[in-house]
């Protein structure tokens, strides 16, 4: 069964450094998303992306965050200058037209 793939599974970064989280959505899906889950808290929406542009973003998704679909298969989330409070699990999701979202297994981001 096709699945969303995320790399790396765990990323450790010094505070203030840039980090890029990578996702390969399910092929032929058109809608892409990033969510995060801080330990012990709810899964929270960050951003949705369709037709090469952001369609919606939350208040968490400030100027430090950006997303990109650099080619036909990858979808990335960049955090420009990481803060301690960015430590969380980051999940990528994708969906086809009129379909529910399917999630990857996440990247655990640890900021030191």
95 has which bridge partners?
31
- How is the chain split among helix, strand and coil, in percent rounded to 5? 5, 50, 45
- Candidate residues 16, 105, 110, 112; the one interacting with other proteins per rule CB under 8 A: 105
Does position 65 interact with other proteins (CB under 8 A)? The reply is no
d(Cα 53, Cα 86) in Å, to the nearest integer? 23
Q: Which is nearer to other proteins, 10 or 81 (CB)?
A: 10
C-alpha 86, offset from chain centre: 12
Count of residues of this chain found to bind other proteins when the rule CB under 8 A is applied? 24
Q: Is 42 among the residues that bind other proteins (CB under 8 A)?
A: yes
The residues of the shown chain that bind other proteins, judged by CB under 8 A, are 4, 6, 31, 33, 35, 41-45, 48, 55-56, 58, 91, 98, 100-106, 108
């Amino acid at each position: 069964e096709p699945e969303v793939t995320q790399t790396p599974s765990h990323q450790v970064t010094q505070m203030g450094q840039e980090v890029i989280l990578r996702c390969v959505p399910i092929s032929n899906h058109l809608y892409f998303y990033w969510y995060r889950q801080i330990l012990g808290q709810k899964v929270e929406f960050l951003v949705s992306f369709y037709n090469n542009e952001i369609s919606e973003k939350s208040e968490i998704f400030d100027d430090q965050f950006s997303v990109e679909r650099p080619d036909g298969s990858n979808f990335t989330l960049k955090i420009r200058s990481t803060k301690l409070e960015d430590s969380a699990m980051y999940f990528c999701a994708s969906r086809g037209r009129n379909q529910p979202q399917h999630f990857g297994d996440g990247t655990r981001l640890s900021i030191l």
